[in-house]
Amino acid sequence: MNTITMQTTLTYKPINLGRWIIWGMFALILIIAPMIFNKGASLSILSQIGTVMIFGLSYNMLLGQGGMLSFGHAVYSGLGAFFAIHAMNLASAGSMWMPVTMIPLVGGLAGMFFGILFGYVTTKKSGTTFAMITLGIVELVFACSLMFPEFFGGEGGISTNRVYGEPIFGVTYGPQIQVYYLIAFWLFISTIGMYAFTQTPLGRIINAVRDNPERVEFVGYDTQWARYLTLILSGFFAGISGGLSAINFEIVTAENVSALRSGGVLLFTFIGGVGFFFGPMIGAIIGVFLTVMLSDFTKAWQLYLGVFFIVMVMYAPGGIASLIMLNLRVAKYGKFGRVWPHLWKTCLLALIALVGIVMMIEMLYHLTLESVNGTTMKLFGSMVDTAAPTGWLIAAALLAVGGFGFWQTKKGFSQVWGEVSTEIEEQIRRAGA
Amino acid sequence: MSELSLELKDVRKSFGRAEIIRGASLKVPKGERFAIIGPNGAGKSTLFNLVSGRFPITSGDILLNGESIVGLRPFEINRRGLSRSFQITNIFHRLSVYENLRCAVLWSLGYKYSFWHRLNGLKDAHERAEQVLEQIGLKRRRDTVAGLLTYAEQRALEIGITIAGGADVILLDEPTAGMSRSESDAAVELIRKVTIGKTLLMVEHDMSVVFGLADKIAVVVYGEVIACDTPANIRGNQKVQEAYLGGHAPVAEAGT
Amino acid sequence: MEFTLITLLNGLSYGLLLFMLSSGLTLIFSMMGVLNFAHASFYMLGAYFAYAISGKLGFWPALFIAPLLVGVIGAFVERYGLRSVHKYGHIPELLFTFGLSYVMVELVQLIWGRAAVPYPIPPELDGPLFTLFTTTFPMYRGFMMLIAVLMLVSIFLVLTKTRIGLVIQAALTHPEMVEALGHNVPRVFMLVFGGGCALAGLAGVIGGNAFVTEPGMAATVGSIIFVVVVVGGMGSLVGALLASLLIGVLQTFAVALDYSFATLFAGLGGSIGPETFGYPVLKLTISQVAPILPYMLLVLILIFRPRGLMGTREG
């Protein structure tokens, strides 16, 4: 007995050290990020990324860890946001005491409450039916939001001023940098919370439910109850992200509880990768980048987002995180050198084809939507006349060259990748035997 | 008269208009090892599904340790001390072997739906999982993802998940299906080891496994239990010979 | 009396339109286990194609060509898109159709712009069908109902009386066995998916000019047909019919009624004012509540009869 306990304590030590390093680096990155990205709008983008990260992580508790596809997660974050913003208004009017720092907690509790309420109905079913029900619930709440303007503010939503109460240590939350650090703080503790969840009995059982819900019943667990509890906790963290959103934007509208926003978090989380804990965080970065920054450059950003998503579903359903981890695994086994030559060629040719397609889409958008302003547009830095054939010919040429080249190199790449993967799997199998 | 772990009283099950189980009765005393044999399609797996709560019965009664478990959901039956394995391997394919076993012990150790315990700090869950891991001989594959195991290893894990929770009544549905001779022998040894002091019901087609393990054999034909006796007596049973061999019975060579 | 009758007829026509949409969805789901999130987008596509074709060739050619085009596109999508995702499971399939719905709306906006397009009712069908007391029932609504009923009957006949229909019915529950018997099941899947999309396209052709043809039309009707499918019972055509009619009639009636709890109490002699507790809820008229009725029905069904009205296949 003694040797076993000695062994267990000994093996835990190295993991602990790694854990401190990872969380430490995370905290460090959060702290110094605004100093690195210090251009004008960067701070507001970082703040947004922060809230969407919490939202995506809470969503992945359902999708990645529990196998529950929800089309209505914005209900919890949105209602959390509404409760938070009302709390802020009440607090600044003096009717109740709630410092801004604690507002996200109000959002979290609201999210949790609605998780308890709606979760009871939604978790009665699983799989595709569950997904449809969540869509019905979000549409229900969204439609309700237009029916109760007293609470939801009607078309204009509810606004607030986040600067109220006595400043603590000079912090008023007026400047964006202070809001960023508030978000970073809540992001840090929420991430710890959600990661800790994955290391609890419920966290592991919900994984088992994802893999084989029937079997779970035969080892003594009620799958519906496991899903229900997980949804409640997920709603709590979603509510926190909603509360932070209310603080950040100082306005909450019906859009916060819409199917559109729910679809958005689904897209981002999936693109980031549902199979890894940090996947939604990558998804949040990409998602905010695409919606906020790309929309400044092109009107077709929604099309790009949709197509990008479809491509991921078809060819990389594990998301960006899985792509990173797969390549890391190849590197770990020392085989990256063989893959690299094929990889960069395939990527380059895909990029060329992509430029061609983007050109065509941009020109088409310009023609149909903006032609009243003239047919020339700025494309990749130079002026192009969309009505003239030159631009189209160049685009078509790029597409043809890139497409054909990609098709050729893809074969070689797939072959090498397949070989390498089989070798690695053999090594793993042999290591165990 | 030892008490009965499991009792089936005139159990009937119809799927639509097809009556699959047509009045099956069985008495399983505590601590005995029963083998359930019979021709294909006789309803053996269906009986398991009825007992473990996967399907509801149409009429009749099933008693576990003297209490009726009719109408209970699988997890309720499991919590009363009955655990079953599946003919088609039913494991958690994205979790490691160790995690599979740990999930199987959590309820029995009382952790329920806790989200405040640190899983890796639960010594009893850890030790029990390691113990079962050792018993089923998959220690080398501890951290392998369950979906990547070989077929026989998955069958062993299947048994491991079934017994990990410490249930007293174990139902194994064709545990050696698809195994080679040597794999079957190893499985028989494993089953013998892990069911000491427990009540075991086992559906099997492999007669050497049956005769090696069982205290009693129950023969299911057409949804009824036509005979239930010691292996020696079953060998000579007229009805069994007719059911298996269609009435011609030189010597019912059911062993080797 | 006349109000009830006219509203009932309007509700039935709307319900039948919903059924045209949800029948395709139910068929695809029963067959392939995939819930086509983009179904409403094919509806939209049908309307836009009909607009484009009827502008050049007239309404009647559009009635036949547009659904066919949509069906071909649907088959294409199945063959080159959905099929490669099939191996990953049901959730990626659902996500694929989800992304597709997104992209289709964007493409439609790209080609036809963001504003509603003037897709007109053909002059031969524009006008009253009959007059009940003082309210007229438009001919076009009658035409819609006719098409819907014809479609219903032909689906029934195809599925039960033709050979391909029998194969489809068998493949509904046992695709592998049907394939083992020598039928080209992947081709059957493609046919059913294309057929389901064609039905949605047909609904778009006749619905697009009765209601409005704009990029947002997919979203408006999209969630409701999912409610129809869940309420009717996943995988049941009869259930989808019942649920469509129920929701169609319910919503049409609700939109026309201007009563609220407040008016009820006022009628009973009580007085309700802004200071009364719960006034925001009490003052809501039924017509204001109408948009959420389908979703309330969904929640109620899930609590009291989770398998739907006539549920067969589990989600």
- Domain segments of chain C: what residues? 2-304
Find the residue in B nearest to A229 (Cα).
Answer: B113
CA distance A226 to A228: 5
- Model confidence at A43: pLDDT above 70: yes
Nearest to A214 by CA among C92, B75, B176: B75
Q: What is the pLDDT of residue B250?
A: 45
Beta pairing, strands B224-229 & A376-379: unpaired
Residue C56 CB contacts under 8 Å (≥ 6 apart), including other chains: none
Residue with tokens 């922060």: A50
Q: Is C131 helix (H, G, I), strand (E, B) or coil?
A: strand
Q: From residue B56, give the alpha-carbon distance in Å to each of B43, B60, B72, C242.
A: 14, 11, 9, 29
Strand extents, DSSP E, chain C: 128-132, 135-138
Q: What is the pLDDT of residue A204?
A: 93
Residue with tokens 């650090």: A181
Report the residue from A136, A146, A310 with minimal CB separation from C96: A310
Residue type, C77: V
> Which run of H or E residues covers position A91?
helix A74-92
> Which run of H or E residues covers position C170?
helix C163-173
Q: Is C60 helix (H, G, I), strand (E, B) or coil?
A: helix
CA distance B136 to B194: 9
Q: From residue A290, give the alpha-carbon distance in Å to each of A279, A306, B256.
A: 16, 11, 70
Q: What is the pLDDT of residue B61?
A: 92
Report the residue from C92, C98, C284 with minimal CB separation from A317: C92
Q: Is C128 helix (H, G, I), strand (E, B) or coil?
A: strand
Q: From residue B46, give the alpha-carbon distance in Å to each of B15, B19, B21, B41, B54.
A: 11, 11, 8, 9, 9
Interface contact flag, A201 B113, Cβ < 8 Å:
yes
Interface contact flag, B161 A217, Cβ < 8 Å:
no
CA distance A165 to B79: 54
- Model confidence at A385: pLDDT above 90: no
**Which sign, positive or negative, has the C-alpha torsion B101, B107, B110, B114?**
positive
Tell me the shortest Cα–Cα distance from B32 to chain A, in angstroms. Answer: 22
CB B96 within 8 A of CB B142: yes
Q: What is the pLDDT of residue C276?
A: 63
Beta pairing, strands B4-15 & B33-37: unpaired
- Contact residues on chain B for A4, CB-CB shorter than 8 A: 127, 130
Q: What is the pLDDT of residue A419?
A: 86
User: What is the C-alpha end-to-end distance of chain C, expressed in Å?
Assistant: 42
CB B201 within 8 A of CB B28: yes
Nearest to C68 by CA among C81, C86, C50: C50
Interface contact flag, A210 B94, Cβ < 8 Å:
yes
Interface contact flag, A364 C295, Cβ < 8 Å:
no
Q: What is the pLDDT of residue C230?
A: 85
Tell me the shortest Cα–Cα distance from A168 to chain C, in angstroms. Answer: 38
Q: How would CATH label the architecture of C2-304?
A: Orthogonal Bundle (1.10)
- Mean pLDDT along residues A188-217: 93
Burial tier of A23 (Cβ tally within 10 Å: 0-12, 13-18, 19+): middle
The answer to whether C99 contacts chain A (CB < 8 Å) is yes
Nearest to C200 by CA among C30, C27, C31, C61: C27
- Contact residues on chain A for C288, CB-CB shorter than 8 A: 147
Interface contact flag, B93 A211, Cβ < 8 Å:
yes
Interface contact flag, A216 B84, Cβ < 8 Å:
no
Report the residue from A136, A309, A317 with minimal CB separation from C88: A317
More confident residue, A237 or C231: A237
The answer to whether A5 contacts chain B (CB < 8 Å) is yes
Q: Is C300 helix (H, G, I), strand (E, B) or coil?
A: helix
CA distance C92 to C101: 14
CB A270 within 8 A of CB A133: no
Burial tier of C129 (Cβ tally within 10 Å: 0-12, 13-18, 19+): middle
Residue A385 CB contacts under 8 Å (≥ 6 apart), including other chains: A375, A376, A391
Interface contact flag, A215 B78, Cβ < 8 Å:
no
- Contact residues on chain A for C114, CB-CB shorter than 8 A: 369
Q: What would the two tokens of residue A393 be?
A: 């010919």
String of DSSP letters for A190-216: HHHHHHHHHTSHHHHHHHHHHH-HHHH
> Which run of H or E residues covers position B219?
strand B216-221
CB A287 within 8 A of CB A267: yes
The answer to whether A14 contacts chain B (CB < 8 Å) is no
Find the residue in B nearest to A222 (Cα).
Answer: B75
Q: What is the pLDDT of residue C313?
A: 47
Beta-bridge partners for B29: B4
Residue C113 CB contacts under 8 Å (≥ 6 apart), including other chains: A368, A369
- Contact residues on chain B for A229, CB-CB shorter than 8 A: 113, 115
CA distance B178 to C199: 47
Q: What is the pLDDT of residue B222?
A: 86
Name which of A165-169, A269-273, A400-404, C169-173 the model is least confident about: C169-173
- Contact residues on chain A for C103, CB-CB shorter than 8 A: 303, 306-307, 310
The answer to whether C229 contacts chain A (CB < 8 Å) is yes
Tell me the shortest Cα–Cα distance from A169 to chain B, in angstroms. Answer: 34
- Model confidence at A13: pLDDT above 50: no
Q: What is the pLDDT of residue C42?
A: 94
Task: Please give the backbone phi and psi of residue A316, each rounded to the nearest 5 degrees, phi first.
Answer: -145, 65
The answer to whether C88 contacts chain A (CB < 8 Å) is yes
CB A362 within 8 A of CB A383: no
Report the residue from B93, B119, B127 with minimal CB separation from A199: B119
CB C243 within 8 A of CB C38: no
**Which sign, positive or negative, has the C-alpha torsion A339, A340, A344, A345?**
negative
Domain A37-318 coded CATH 1.10.3470: yes
Q: What is the pLDDT of residue B178?
A: 81
CB C194 within 8 A of CB C34: no
User: In chain B, which residues have pLDDT < 70?
Assistant: 1-2, 244-256
More confident residue, C223 or A195: A195
Q: What are the extents of the domains in chain B?
A: 1-81+170-256, 89-166
> Which run of H or E residues covers position B20?
strand B18-29
CB C203 within 8 A of CB C96: no
CA distance B252 to B236: 7
Find the residue in A nearest to C83 (Cα).
Answer: A314
Q: What is the pLDDT of residue A433?
A: 53
CB A70 within 8 A of CB A62: yes
Name which of A13-27, A56-70, A225-239, B45-59 the model is least confident about: A13-27
Radius of gyration of chain C (CA): 21
Residue type, B233: N
Nearest to C47 by CA among C87, C9, C20, C86: C20
CA distance B110 to B100: 17
Beta pairing, strands B33-37 & B59-64: unpaired
User: In chain C, which residues have pLDDT < 70?
Assistant: 132-134, 172, 259-262, 265, 269-282, 312-315
- Contact residues on chain B for A203, CB-CB shorter than 8 A: 115, 119
The answer to whether A296 contacts chain B (CB < 8 Å) is no
Q: From residue C46, give the alpha-carbon distance in Å to each of B34, B96, B101, C148.
A: 64, 49, 53, 15
CA distance A376 to A367: 9
Find the residue in B nearest to A204 (Cα).
Answer: B103
Question: How confident is the model over A71-108, as pLDDT tens digits?
Answer: 999 999 999 999 999 999 998 888 888 888 899 999 99
User: What is the C-alpha end-to-end distance of chain A, expressed in Å?
Assistant: 27
Q: What is the CATH number of domain B1-81+170-256?
A: 3.40.50.300
**Dihedral class, residue B43 (left if φ above 0, else alpha if ψ from -120 to 50, else beta):** left
Looking at chain C from residue 54 to 83, which residues have their Cβ under 8 Å from any Cβ of chain A?
A: 81
Mutate one of C102, C105, C284 to test the A interface: name it (highest A CB count within 10 A).
Answer: C102
Q: What is the pLDDT of residue C24?
A: 86
CA distance C62 to A367: 26
State the pLDDT confidence band at A405, using cuts at 50, 70 and 90.
Answer: confident
Tell me the shortest Cα–Cα distance from C251 to chain A, in angstroms. Answer: 14
Looking at chain C from residue 251 to 290, which residues have their Cβ under 8 Å from any Cβ of chain A?
A: 280-281, 284, 288-289
Residue B165 CB contacts under 8 Å (≥ 6 apart), including other chains: A219, A220, B78, B83, B104, B105, B107, B108
Q: What would the two tokens of residue A235 be?
A: 């709603």
Residue with tokens 């802020």: A88
* For the ranges A143-147, A379-383, C70-74, C310-314, the one whose mean pLDDT is highest: C70-74
The answer to whether C230 contacts chain A (CB < 8 Å) is yes
State the pLDDT confidence band at A177, using cuts at 50, 70 and 90.
Answer: confident
Q: What is the pLDDT of residue B162?
A: 92
Residue B123 C-alpha from the chain's centroid: 28
**Dihedral class, residue A292 (left if φ above 0, else alpha if ψ from -120 to 50, else beta):** alpha
Tell me the shortest Cα–Cα distance from C211 to chain A, in angstroms. Answer: 20
Beta pairing, strands B216-221 & B199-203: unpaired
